């Protein structure tokens, strides 16, 4: 493996292409299958399990593939269109929302999972992006899928619910800031089932400091994906809402705090340091862990961390901290050879009890890495997603506008 000695795009392009390859190769491409276009949740241990959020990122991958001349336009167009047919006709769900995990070949519910509002949103963001890029029947089908989503059904008087299963009904509420900003933009702009803008302003915005980094609107566990996922599609840079909140700047501060937390805990974990950071949910030595995170937060995050680091935490933050992210990625690539494979960086590593590297990758981690790297290099996903009239309308309704730099 060639060592990379200088900053630049070479490593980012290698990771970008690896992520892209996951979404191209781990998809069902049998045109006779009811699950055409569905994409695996993981590449090894869930052979028949697709994630609808993986498909959202996969639709973005088709746009990236054409722009980077890795895929012919006609091939990508047809794949996008037929994937949307699968969701219109075969993927199981309710009121326009879809089950989180479905069978790769049938589109039917798997693992007794929930109908997921956030994973449906990630899927529809990918569909909207593809629709703006390809136009034609891809755009028409993306619009139909968006219009089917009954945002009113998935809420109480003030907040969105977090999950729904037919066996138990709704549970949880998005009552504080996390990864869900996309829900309010999509929901308020809906031409069929719009929500009130106050749902966005109802969420708690709890501010905490971390050392010299002040007034971070923190998320419950301080996990980096919560500061990244909506930003993958929506370019909040240089925008503020009517309360003066700059969500892009907030993610910059949260990312810097995540790195500082790792530096301060270098004495506790062999993998933590100035060029090894990025705490976010990933596969750990004992399985998938949603609690890896950093201060500031509301949870007792210290007891959950075990030294596991995911490169996706750094990749997904590259638009916020480009130089620091590149230095960390170069460290991983040059010094931790077990981390790089056919789909770029594997999901995670932990050196506390020997040298452990995960054998697989996860669609959402490859997806956030791919989209954020592409946005950093060329703003491609931001450009096409932000063109959509509904997204522009949602931002306008929520009073999230550009601010003057003068």
Among 89, 99, 63, 139, smallest CA distance to 374 is for: 63
**What is the domain partition of the chain in residue ranges?**
10-394
- Give the C-alpha distances (Å, rounded to integers) separating 297 from 163, 210, 228, 262, 314: 22, 10, 16, 14, 19
DSSP labels, 294-355: -SSSSS-GGGT--S-B-HHHHHTTTTTSHHHHHHHHHHHHHH-GGGEETTEE-S-EE-TTS-
Cβ density class 269-283: b for 16+ within 10 Å, e for less: bebbbebbbbbbbbb
8 Å CB contact between 5 and 23: no
Among 403, 394, 342, smallest CA distance to 44 is for: 342
CA angle centred on 125, ends 121 and 131, rounded to 5° = 140
CA distance 383 to 60: 12
pLDDT given at position 11: 96
8 Å CB contact between 66 and 76: yes
pLDDT given at position 406: 44
- For residue 279, what is the enclosing H or E element? none
> For the chain, what is the total number of helices (H) and then of strands (E)?
13, 17
Backbone angles phi, psi at 85, to 5 degrees: -60, -40
pLDDT given at position 8: 60
CATH superfamily of 10-394: Glycoside hydrolase 144 (GH144) (1.50.10.140)
Place of tokens 């703006």: 132
Quote the DSSP letter at residue 169. Answer: E
Backbone angles phi, psi at 235, to 5 degrees: -85, 100
CA distance 87 to 103: 13
How crowded is the C-beta side of 106, counted as CA atoms within 13 Å? Answer: 6
pLDDT given at position 405: 55
CA distance 244 to 22: 39
pLDDT given at position 337: 83
* Start-end of H helices in 68-190: 73-89, 117-134, 136-148, 181-189
The tokens describing 305, both together, are 């961390």
State the burial class of residue 293 (Cβ atoms within 10 Å of its Cβ: 0-12, 13-18, 19+): buried
Per-residue pLDDT of the chain (406 residues), as tens digits, is 454 444 468 999 999 999 999 999 999 999 999 999 999 999 987 789 999 999 999 999 999 999 999 999 999 999 999 999 999 999 999 999 999 999 999 999 999 999 999 999 999 999 999 999 999 999 999 999 999 999 999 999 999 999 999 999 999 999 999 999 999 999 999 999 999 999 999 999 999 999 999 999 999 999 999 999 999 999 999 999 999 999 999 999 999 999 999 999 999 999 999 999 999 999 999 999 999 999 999 999 999 999 999 999 999 999 999 999 999 999 999 998 889 999 999 999 999 988 999 999 999 999 999 999 999 999 999 999 999 999 999 999 999 999 865 4
Supply the pTM of this predicted model. Answer: 0.96
pLDDT given at position 114: 98
Strand partners, 116: 98
Place of tokens 């509904």: 390
């Amino acid at each position: 493996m060639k060592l990379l000695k200088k900053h630049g795009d070479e490593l980012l392009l290698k990771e970008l292409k690896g992520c892209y390859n996951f979404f191209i190769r781990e998809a069902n491409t049998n045109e006779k299958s009811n699950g055409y276009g569905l994409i695996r949740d993981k590449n090894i241990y869930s052979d028949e399990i697709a994630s609808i959020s993986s498909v959202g990122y996969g639709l973005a991958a088709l746009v990236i593939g054409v722009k980077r001349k890795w895929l012919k336009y006609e091939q990508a167009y047809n794949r996008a269109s037929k994937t949307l047919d699968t969701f219109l006709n075969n993927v199981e769900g309710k009121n326009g929302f879809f089950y989180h995990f479905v069978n790769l070949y049938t589109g039917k519910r798997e693992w007794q999972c929930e109908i997921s509002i956030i994973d449906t949103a990630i899927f529809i963001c990918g569909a909207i992006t593809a629709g703006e890029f390809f136009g034609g029947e891809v755009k028409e089908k993306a619009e139909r899928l968006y219009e089917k989503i009954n945002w009113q059904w998935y809420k109480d008087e003030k907040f969105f619910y977090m999950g729904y299963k037919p066996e138990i009904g709704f549970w949880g509420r998005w009552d504080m800031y996390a990864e869900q900003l996309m829900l309010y933009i999509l929901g308020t702009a809906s031409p069929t089932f719009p929500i009130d803008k106050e749902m966005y302003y109802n969420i708690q915005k709890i501010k905490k400091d971390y050392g010299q980094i002040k007034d971070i609107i923190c998320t419950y566990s301080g996990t980096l994906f919560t500061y990244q996922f909506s930003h993958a599609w929506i370019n909040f840079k240089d925008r503020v809402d009517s309360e003066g909140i700059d969500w892009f700047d907030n993610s910059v501060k949260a990312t810097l705090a995540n790195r500082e937390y790792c530096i301060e805990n270098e004495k506790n974990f062999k993998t933590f340091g100035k060029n090894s950071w990025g705490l976010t949910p990933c596969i750990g030595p004992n399985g998938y862990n949603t609690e890896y995170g950093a201060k500031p937060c509301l949870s007792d995050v210290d007891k959950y961390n075990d030294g596991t680091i995911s490169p996706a935490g750094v990749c997904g933050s590259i638009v916020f901290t480009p130089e620091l992210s590149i230095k960390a990625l170069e460290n991983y690539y040059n010094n931790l050879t077990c981390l790089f494979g056919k789909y770029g960086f594997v999901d995670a590593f932990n050196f506390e009890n020997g040298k452990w590297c995960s054998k697989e990758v996860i669609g959402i981690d490859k997806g956030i890495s791919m989209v954020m790297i592409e946005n950093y290099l060329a703003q491609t996903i931001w450009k096409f997603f932000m063109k959509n009239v509904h997204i522009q309308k949602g931002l306008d309704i929520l009073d999230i506008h550009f601010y003057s730099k003068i």
